[in-house]
A and B are shown apart, each in its own frame.
Chain A
Amino acid sequence: MAQNYYQKDIETMPVEDIKKLQSEKLVKQVKHVYENVEYYRKLMDEKGVKPDDIKGIEDLHKLPFISKADLRDAYPYGLLAKPLDECVRIHSTSGTTGRRVVAFYTQHDIDLWEDCCARAIVAAGGSKKDVCQVAYGYGLFTGGSGLNGGSHKVGCLTLPMSSGNTERQIQFMMDLNATIICCTPSYAAYIGETLKEQGYKPEDIPLKAGIFGAEPWTEEMRENIEKTLGIKAYDIYGLTETSGPGVAFECSEQTGMHVNEDHFYAEIIDPDTGEVLPEGSKGELVFTSLDKEAFPLLRYRTRDICVLSRKKCSCGRTLIKMAKPMGRTDDMLIIRGVNVFPSQIETVLLNEGYQPNYQIVVDRVNNNDTFDVKVELTPEQFTDKVGEVLAMEKSLANAMKTMLGINPSVHLVAPKTIARSEGKAVRVVDKRKLI
């Protein structure tokens, strides 16, 4: 298969040259961060590291880690490294325990992020001849804007559909001959099912490729999507904290995602000791933004469990590859593309006057995540009126939706009915078979 690249010089750069480039950028970045972000200066001083100690990428391990907790502590401006008047945009994650993470972007940051997304689109076979349907949500969520920007850079005709309204998605796809679709894999599967129900065969559908991310998905799901839509389905990885989708992307080989390591340096560490592990080891994925200006995170712990590989890739790219994340080091769930922590459910229950006796049940039905929360009723709350119990369920679901951004189905249950193992309640039952 003939290969196209968006930025060939970077994507196929010899490894030694990439290292050199990373070293130069890191030295500059550490100085920038130390001088402009008090929060980082404190962290580095506490660890006894000065910018002068960082002479190249091999010194990265000397720097302290930064975690989601730091991001929440520093909300909203504590990690900002540029004056606000040089920033042009924010994006945000779904709120965690009431506090969101807000990331800032200068025009330079937007440009490099969109370049990353453009590389992903070209690696999926995209060019200016393509019609790219962006069905990720637009707004605070990074998915829509990121792929929209990438699609512009490639020169595709961009359909900024945002998510939802499947009838309209299909109408535009068919009428305007969309050839590439970008959305969550579960939404792609749903669109595929809907097309099938409407009698469309894969060969009737103009799409040739899809770029899917923001939630975990399996090889089985890939096969299923590729079959129903008649396309090649490519994975994309990213997180709001580092910019958004496009930190890593899949190529024609479909065996892992190339990290855009001229912008984001990836490490694998032992989640318990923090020690950097050699290539090929399984551990926690850590990212360093090498040249982001406004919100440059150094050694950000993603909590994703992953493996990196420098094995030669048939696509010709020399960028290191990361496997699909194999799990999390914390109890975070990704449901319909949204990060959900059990602690958030607990907070809502306490706020609403319930005991924190609950169980989250996640499953995948027809390729869509189901999200059920069972909550034990207390004798004080119990009423003999069905309508009141149903209203309590509804009001709890609304409070959870406000906290999480997605709608759970709340089920009030009798006390002591939630399964306990060794006396400890089982808080999360994830029935999705993803790994």
Chain B
Amino acid sequence: MAIKQLTVFVQNSKGTIVSVTDILAKNNVNIRALSIAETKDFGILRLIVNDQELATKLLEENDYLIKTIDVIGVKIGDKPGELTSALAVLDKADINVEYLYAFMARTEKHAYVVLRVENNELAQAVLSDAGFKLITEQDVCKL
């Protein structure tokens, strides 16, 4: 059920993100979700794409430092308080969230949250038990 997230190390300087997205765009890789964590010197780009294998190959060929990480995705209602209740479930189960990013679907009245946690199986189990719908990589690509 886990979603493969592509993680790319980039220098925090002008033009570094565009050079990554450009390589993907030229090869018809579609970015479904993206977040960046940045420091003064460097940034870590996190991407979920429709063709993870191709994206990995392309970026590796271009000497990017990349790593594929399993993250989980959860569907929540597009209204105030929904994210809080999802996070409360994890908190109650003592699962630490390293980071998360959210995006909205174009057509549905839902939002999607990508979560990087310590224990994917446990997080998925508690969220599922609490009635949240988990999403798969295929789901993300179809959105």
A412-B69 Cα distance, complex, nearest whole Å: 20
Contacts known (A377-B65, A416-B63); A384 close to B11, Cβ less than 8 A: no
> Which residue from B5, B46, B65 sits with its C-beta under 8 Å from A414?
B65
In whole Å, how far is A184's beta carbon from the nearest beta carbon of chain B? 28
Residue of B nearest to A379 (CB): B65
Q: Which of A222-230, A233-241, A279-287, A385-393 contacts B (4 or more CB under 8 A)?
A: A385-393
Q: Say yes or no: B116 contacts A384, CB within 8 Å.
A: yes
A384-B7 Cα distance, complex, nearest whole Å: 6
B94 interfacial contact with A, CB 8 Å: no
B64 interfacial contact with A, CB 8 Å: yes
**Residue interface bits B64-103, CB-to-A below 8 A is 1, else 0:** 1111010000000000000000000000000000110000
B135 interfacial contact with A, CB 8 Å: no
In whole Å, how far is B71's beta carbon from the nearest beta carbon of chain A? 9
**Residue interface bits B34-69, CB-to-A below 8 A is 1, else 0:** 000111011010100000000000000001111101
A398-B16 Cα distance, complex, nearest whole Å: 29
Q: Which residues of A contact B37 (CB under 8 A)?
A: 386
Q: Which residues of B contact A366 (CB under 8 A)?
A: none
B132 interfacial contact with A, CB 8 Å: no
A377-B10 Cα distance, complex, nearest whole Å: 11
A412-B11 Cα distance, complex, nearest whole Å: 9
A417 interfacial contact with B, CB 8 Å: yes
A411-B42 Cα distance, complex, nearest whole Å: 9
Residue of B nearest to A416 (CB): B63
Contacts known (A389-B42, A413-B42); A383 close to B67, Cβ less than 8 A: yes
Q: Say yes or no: B39 contacts A386, CB within 8 Å.
A: yes
Q: Which residues of A contact B9 (CB under 8 A)?
A: 377, 382, 414
Q: Which residues of A contact B64 (CB under 8 A)?
A: 414
A411-B13 Cα distance, complex, nearest whole Å: 13
A416-B61 Cα distance, complex, nearest whole Å: 13
A385-B63 Cα distance, complex, nearest whole Å: 20
Q: Say yes or no: A389 contacts B44, CB within 8 Å.
A: yes
Contacts known (A390-B39, A414-B9); A382 close to B63, Cβ less than 8 A: no
Report the number of A-B residue pairs with Cβ-Cβ less than 8 Å: 48
Residue of A nearest to B36 (CB): A386
A415 interfacial contact with B, CB 8 Å: yes
> Which residue from A385, A414, A416 sits with its C-beta under 8 Å from B98?
A385
> Which residue from A384, A411, A415 sits with its C-beta under 8 Å from B63?
A415
For B7, B10, B42, the residue with the greatest tally of chain A CB atoms inside 10 Å of its CB is B42
Q: Which residues of B contact A383 (CB under 8 A)?
A: 67
A386-B41 Cα distance, complex, nearest whole Å: 11
Q: Which residues of B contact A411 (CB under 8 A)?
A: 41-42
CB contacts under 8 Å to B, within A339-384, are 377, 379, 382-384
A25-B49 Cα distance, complex, nearest whole Å: 80
Q: Which residues of B contact A389 (CB under 8 A)?
A: 39, 42, 44
Residue of A nearest to B98 (CB): A385
A181-B116 Cα distance, complex, nearest whole Å: 57
A305-B63 Cα distance, complex, nearest whole Å: 42
In whole Å, how far is B9's beta carbon from the nearest beta carbon of chain A? 5
Residue of B nearest to A387 (CB): B98
For A377, A379, A384, A390, the residue with the greatest tally of chain B CB atoms inside 10 Å of its CB is A384
A415-B65 Cα distance, complex, nearest whole Å: 7
Residue of B nearest to A393 (CB): B41
Q: Which residues of B contact A415 (CB under 8 A)?
A: 63, 65
Residue of A nearest to B40 (CB): A411
A411-B98 Cα distance, complex, nearest whole Å: 22
Residue of A nearest to B71 (CB): A384
> Which residue from B10, B39, B67 sits with its C-beta under 8 Å from A379?
B67
Binding site for B on A (CB under 8 A): 377, 379, 382-386, 389-390, 411-417
Add 13 more A-B contacts to A377-B9, A379-B66, A389-B39 (CB < 8 A): A382-B9, A382-B65, A383-B67, A384-B5, A386-B44, A389-B44, A390-B39, A412-B42, A413-B41, A414-B9, A414-B63, A414-B64, A415-B65
Could you show 21 A-B contacts with beta carbons less than 8 Å apart?
A: A377-B9, A379-B65, A382-B7, A382-B65, A382-B67, A383-B67, A384-B5, A384-B44, A384-B46, A384-B116, A385-B44, A385-B116, A386-B37, A389-B42, A390-B39, A412-B41, A412-B42, A414-B11, A414-B42, A414-B63, A414-B64
